[in-house]
């Protein structure tokens, strides 16, 4: 006579997820450490222009975007654990190259080339680990906990950057630029030791769809995510210049409030996606985000702007996991990694186009207008989500 196994508790599921997204935390800590100090290093120490400094930082994000198809394919074919191991090895090598670049800073051009090579490796590693951890979580705790897996992965990444950026400034001030390369190599090496004996989930067998076939299935959901996420790229890129244009101070507090509300929303309301469904959750959250962006557009004072930033963070927080739950349903489990990669491309794209798009708006219409246009794009994303929900309801009947 067999006895049924008791269902795992919510705490047990969360702990399993956290033990896996720990590797996301390490990866994004390594991304955060150099983010605030490398532009100054390229400009001041190596003597290159601000444009080259920006391109050096941006090369990492370009590498992440371009490596998404490979990251999904590897995760599906060789397993999630091995994809993460490859990513950690990439971070370790990136740390070594960063250290070599800094040791060669008297030779400006070779130093820059080596530094950019390290940034490219870091970008590929970000793609591998981001997809690998979410896919591993879904294999470990079940696809019914997709929203929770995506949410905790996001908390790990945003939290790690929030810790890493100021920590990198302190490290460079106390120990010099060489400490960055050493820290990246040591953190990745430690993670490789810890992951060595951690049991992975088996590779899911079955038909593997080509990446572009997966991309086509995911793209309507990704497009809605992209339109909603441009507001985030707008806020992070231009909030300081927006404050300056108004004669205000304390722009950093807007980013702090946005981040706090973003994380609180994920911690407090992640279960609402399972309760009310991905589409309903995304539609409510996009509406809240839009209100926040409109408040930033119309803000007569810093207090009003802070409330707007908080609402934008609170609303945007659950859009990624809520639409992600519906997007991943469109592909078989054997192509789950490819689906997650294709979906992530649209968030990468939002961050990539927010700067030049809203920069052009600000140049012609002023900095306040960027939040009006970000709100308008969010409304279009909301309309697309409503259409997708209606299509899903029709197909169920």
Contact 359, 236 (CB under 8 A): no
Q: Is residue 135 situated within a structural domain?
A: yes
| Of the candidates 311, 288, 283, 304, the residue with the CA atom closest to the CA atom of residue 368 | 304
Instruction: Say whether both 190 and 224 belong to one domain.
Output: no
Domain final residue, candidates 167, 195, 223: 195
Average pLDDT, the chain: 86
Q: Check whether 4 has a pLDDT greater than 60.
A: no
1 belongs to a structural domain: no
Cβ(358)–Cβ(238) below 8 Å: yes
Say if 328 falls within a structural domain.
yes
Same domain, 232 and 87: no
Q: Which of 195, 221, 246 is the last residue of a domain?
A: 195
SS3 state of residue 279 = helix
pLDDT of residue 1: 43
- What is the pLDDT at residue 110? 93
Residue 6 has a pLDDT of 59
Residues 232 and 351 in one domain: yes
- Which tens digits make up the pLDDT trace of 321-331? 899 889 988 88
Q: Alpha carbon 129 to chain centroid distance?
A: 11
Are residues 252 and 170 part of one domain?
no
How far lies 168's CA from each of 45, 162, 300, in Å? 17, 11, 35
Terminal-to-terminal C-alpha distance of the chain: 40
pLDDT in tens, 298-320: 999 999 999 999 999 999 989 98
pTM: 0.77
Count the alpha carbons within 13 Å of 226 in the hemisphere toward its beta carbon: 17
Q: How far is CA 132 from CA 22, 75, 76, 80, 170, in A?
A: 12, 6, 9, 5, 31
**Domain co-membership, 158 together with 249:** no
Same domain, 190 and 217: no
Confidence of residue 2 (pLDDT cuts 50, 70, 90): very low
Helices (H), the chain: 10-35, 38-40, 50-78, 80-103, 108-141, 146-175, 178-195, 211-246, 251-269, 271-276, 278-298, 302-317, 319-328, 336-365, 368-396
- 318 close to 285: Cβ distance less than 8 angstroms: yes
**Within a domain: residue 200?**
no
360 compared with 4, residue with greater pLDDT: 360
Among 165, 195, 225, the domain-final residue is: 195
Q: Is residue 302 part of a domain?
A: yes
**Among 65-69, 156-160, 236-240, 349-353, the least confident range:** 236-240
Q: 352's torsion region: left (phi>0), alpha (psi -120 to 50) or beta? A: alpha
pLDDT band at 205; cut points 50, 70, 90: low
Per the structure, how many domains does the chain have?
2
Give yes or no: residues 179 and 240 share one domain. Answer: no
Inter-axis angle of helices 146-175 and 10-35, nearest 10? 30
Regarding whether 170 and 276 lie in a shared domain, the answer is: no
pLDDT score of 165 more than 90: no
Question: Over 70: is that where the pLDDT of 3 sits?
Answer: no
The answer to whether residue 315 sits within a structural domain is yes
- The rounded distance, in Å, linking the Cα atoms of 132 and 109 is 35
The residue range of the domain holding 233 is 211-396
Tell whether the model's pLDDT for residue 154 goes beyond 60: yes
Structural domain includes residue 206:
no
Q: Specify whether 182 is located in the same domain as 130.
A: yes
- Rounded to an integer, the average pLDDT of 379-383 is 95
Q: What is the structure's pLDDT at 204? A: 63
CATH number at residue 111: 1.20.1250.20
Q: Are residues 184 and 333 in the same domain?
A: no
Same domain, 239 and 278: yes
Residues 178 and 216 in one domain: no
Q: In whole angstroms, what is the distance from residue 86 CA to residue 92 CA?
A: 10
Average pLDDT over residues 373-384: 95
- Asked, for residue 202, whether it belongs to a domain, the answer is no
pLDDT band at 92 (very low <50, low <70, confident <90, very high): very high
């Amino acid at each position: 006579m067999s006895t049924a196994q008791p269902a795992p508790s919510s705490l047990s599921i969360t702990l399993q997820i956290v033990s896996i997204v720990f590797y996301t935390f390490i990866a994004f800590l390594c991304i955060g450490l150099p983010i605030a100090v490398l532009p100054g290093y390229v400009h001041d120490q190596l003597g290159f222009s601000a444009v080259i400094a920006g391109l050096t930082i941006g090369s990492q994000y370009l590498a992440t975007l371009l490596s998404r198809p490979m990251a999904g394919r590897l995760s599906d074919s060789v397993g999630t654990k091995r994809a993460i191991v490859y990513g950690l090895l990439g971070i370790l090598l990136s740390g070594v190259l960063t250290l070599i670049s800094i040791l060669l800073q008297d030779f400006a051009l070779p130093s820059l080339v080596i530094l950019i090579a390290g940034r490219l490796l870091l970008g590929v590693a970000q793609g591998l680990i981001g997809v690998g951890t979410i896919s591993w979580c879904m294999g470990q705790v079940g696809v019914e906990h997709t929203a929770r897996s995506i949410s905790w992965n996001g908390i790990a990444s945003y939290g790690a950057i929030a810790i890493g950026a100021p920590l990198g400034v302190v490290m460079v001030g106390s120990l010099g630029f060489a400490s960055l390369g050493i820290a990246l190599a040591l953190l990745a090496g430690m993670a490789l030791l810890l992951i060595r004996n951690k049991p992975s989930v088996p590779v899911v067998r079955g038909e593997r769809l080509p990446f572009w076939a997966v991309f086509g299935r995911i793209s309507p959901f990704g497009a809605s995510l992209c339109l909603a996420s441009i507001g985030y790229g707008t806020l992070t890129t231009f909030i300081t210049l927006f404050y300056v244009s108004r004669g205000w101070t304390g722009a950093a507090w807007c980013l702090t409030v946005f981040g706090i509300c973003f994380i609180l929303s994920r911690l407090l309301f992640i279960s609402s996606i399972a309760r009310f469904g991905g589409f309903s959750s995304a539609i409510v959250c996009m509406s809240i985000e839009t209100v926040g962006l409109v408040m930033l557009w119309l803000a007569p004072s810093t207090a009003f702007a802070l409330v707007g930033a908080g609402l934008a963070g609170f609303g945007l927080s659950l859009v990624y996991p809520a639409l992600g739950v519906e997007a991943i349903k469109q592909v078989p489990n054997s192509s789950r990694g490819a689906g997650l990669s294709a979906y992530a491309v649209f968030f990468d794209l939002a961050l990539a186009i927010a700067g030049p798009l809203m920069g052009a708006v600000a140049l012609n219409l002023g900095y306040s207008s960027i939040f009006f246009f970000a709100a308008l794009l969010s409304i279009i994303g909301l309309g697309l989500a409503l259409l997708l929900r209606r299509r899903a309801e029709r197909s169920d009947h």
